[in-house]
Amino acid sequence: MLELEIERVAHGGVFVAHHEGRVVFVADAVPGERVAARVVDQGHDRFWRADTVEVLQASPDRREHVWAEASVDRAPEHRAGGAEFGHIRLDRQRELKADVLRDALARMGGVEREVEVHAVDSELAPGASDTDGTGWRTRVRLHVAADGTIGPYATRSHTVVPVASLPLAVPELGAIAPLGDRFPGAHAVDLIAPSVGDVAVVVVEGERMPQAPRPTIEERVGDRRFRLDRDGFWQVHRGAAATLSRAVQELIDGELFDPRAANHDLYGGVGLLAAAVGDRFGDAVRITTVESDPRATEHAGANLAEWVGARAVTARVDRYLDELAASAASAGAAEQERIRSATIVLDPPRSGAGRAVVERLAELRPRQLVYVACDPIALARDVGLFRERGYELDELRAFDLFPNTHHIEAVARLRAIV
């Protein structure tokens, strides 16, 4: 057992302390606290990992955890995972997330910038609480133990923790969650609350979904509806899709936008952000959405069908850009200008776009990029890569789409330096 002074936040929902010159990443703490912590991982030369066992001197930012089953009062191995900031006042959570993004941009992106993390507009997320950060999650996966008991995993483990409540879930899911039931032989139990239609409890029998026709659902964003597979990707916060759509619309510089250019929505899913572009700039917009999941692409084509200039392509983004660069090299001046005049929206997975995609985009030289990121480290790395290739971070907004967790969503505009 170690007695540690907690210094600052680190990426990943943990906090930094030092012991005899070694960095210790501590869970369930708050900067400024003194805690007793148990080391759980000594497998690294440069740092250890530890869990808070007792708070010896509490921060004024500490509060009673919003999820009793995740509280520091429980043994670490019996704490529910998925709400690692739930013991911290909500306004302080946002400050800590801003610190992580600001530090990442400075260290990896070479950009010094003030960051403010904004709450989701309450009008976009009815039922969610901006007082304690509960009631927002529309998708919940509960894992199944060997005896059929269901619950979340404990942090950094595959131990199922039985729970009596799901405070981060929208109230409709809390009302139907079969938390006391057993599901022997099942892989997981998914709870889904689409914005259109009924909530659902889905028992997942295996790790892979069957190839038979899958059930679909509809989601509403403003006046627009999107169809997708019930097990397909959609933002989990009730107000996230509308928040990101609005941010993308606002961050596109209208003076740089050419509706006839080779505009793209990369990692486009079912067409959410392509639709946001079209809704701002009108039905004359030409835009191609690129997504590797063929089912999502199929839905994107239908969701964007009203735009003659919209096209949905099934492809890995890196390979698609390779082909686009090759064709651009042999194309005429008019086609090359369409690419250089383009606006590119990209919403990559948590790992970010990465070097290969950044290099291809920089080679194609579109006027502006609007980058939606769910990981501050990946965003900062890619901002740094773009800066090395002639793009500057022009504007940045960050949103608290995952209250009571360490996760943060950011939308950045990068502009080609002429």
Tens of pLDDT, residues 89-123: 999 999 999 999 999 999 999 999 999 999 999 88
Distance CA 74, CA 57 (A): 18
- Name the domain count of the chain: 3
Task: Indicate whether 251 and 384 sit together in one domain.
Answer: yes
Q: Which of the residues 374, 385, 398, 412 is marked catalytic?
A: 374
Strands (E), 80-215: 117-118, 139-144, 150-151, 188-192, 200-204
Task: Indicate whether 40 and 180 sit together in one domain.
Answer: no
Task: Indicate whether 363 and 262 sit together in one domain.
Answer: yes
Task: Indicate whether 251 and 387 sit together in one domain.
Answer: yes
CB within 8 Å of 108: residues ≥ 6 apart = 377, 380, 381, 383, 384
Angle between the 272-281 and 240-251 helix axes, to the nearest 10 degrees?
50
Task: Establish whether 254 is a catalytic residue.
Answer: no
State yes or no: pLDDT of 418 exceeds 80: no
Q: Cite the annotated binding site by residue number.
A: 235, 267, 291, 347
Whole-angstrom CA distances from 328 to 98, 143, 320, 356 are: 39, 48, 12, 17
Residue 86 lies in a domain: no
Task: Indicate whether 12 and 161 sit together in one domain.
Answer: no
Q: Residue 31, Cβ neighbours under 10 Å: how many?
A: 19
Q: Which residue has the tokens 């400024």?
A: 32
Q: Residue 194, Cβ neighbours under 10 Å: how many?
A: 19
Q: In this predicted structure, what is the pLDDT of residue 21? A: 87
Q: Kindly report the average pLDDT of the chain as a whole number.
A: 94
Q: In this predicted structure, what is the pLDDT of residue 408? A: 97
Residue 131 lies in a domain: no
Q: In this predicted structure, what is the pLDDT of residue 209? A: 57
Task: Indicate whether 157 and 110 sit together in one domain.
Answer: no
With a pLDDT cut of 70, the percent of the chain lying above it is 98
CA 146, 149, 150, 153 dihedral sign is negative
CATH number assigned to the domain comprising residue 105: 3.40.50.150
* CA 15 to chain CA centroid, nearest Å: 21
The structure tokens listed for 94 are: 């946002």
Q: In this predicted structure, what is the pLDDT of residue 186? A: 95
Please write the tens of the pLDDT for every residue from 199-228.
999 999 876 655 567 899 999 999 999 999
Please write the tens of the pLDDT for every residue from 144-200.
999 999 999 998 899 999 999 999 999 999 999 999 999 999 999 999 999 999 999
Q: Which residue has the tokens 């066992």?
A: 53
Answer for the pair 266, 410: CB distance below 8 angstroms, yes or no.
no
CATH number assigned to the domain comprising residue 57: 2.40.50.140
Task: Read off the pLDDT of each residue in 11-18 and give the average, rounded to a whole number.
Answer: 96
DSSP 108: I
Distance CA 335, CA 357 (A): 20
| Residue where a domain stops, chosen among 158, 184, 213 | 213
DSSP 42: -
Q: In this predicted structure, what is the pLDDT of residue 402? A: 97
Q: In this predicted structure, what is the pLDDT of residue 210? A: 57
What range does the domain containing 33 cover? Answer: 2-62
Task: Read off the pLDDT of each residue in 327-353 and give the average, rounded to a whole number.
Answer: 91
Task: Indicate whether 244 and 298 sit together in one domain.
Answer: yes
Q: In this predicted structure, what is the pLDDT of residue 332? A: 79
Q: In this predicted structure, what is the pLDDT of residue 19? A: 92
CB within 8 Å of 404: residues ≥ 6 apart = 66, 67, 83, 84, 85, 86, 90, 93, 132, 133, 134, 168
Residue 224 lies in a domain: no
Task: Read off the pLDDT of each residue in 64-70 and give the average, rounded to a whole number.
Answer: 97
Q: In this predicted structure, what is the pLDDT of residue 207? A: 65
Q: Which residue has the higher pLDDT, 224 or 45?
A: 224
Q: In this predicted structure, what is the pLDDT of residue 250? A: 97
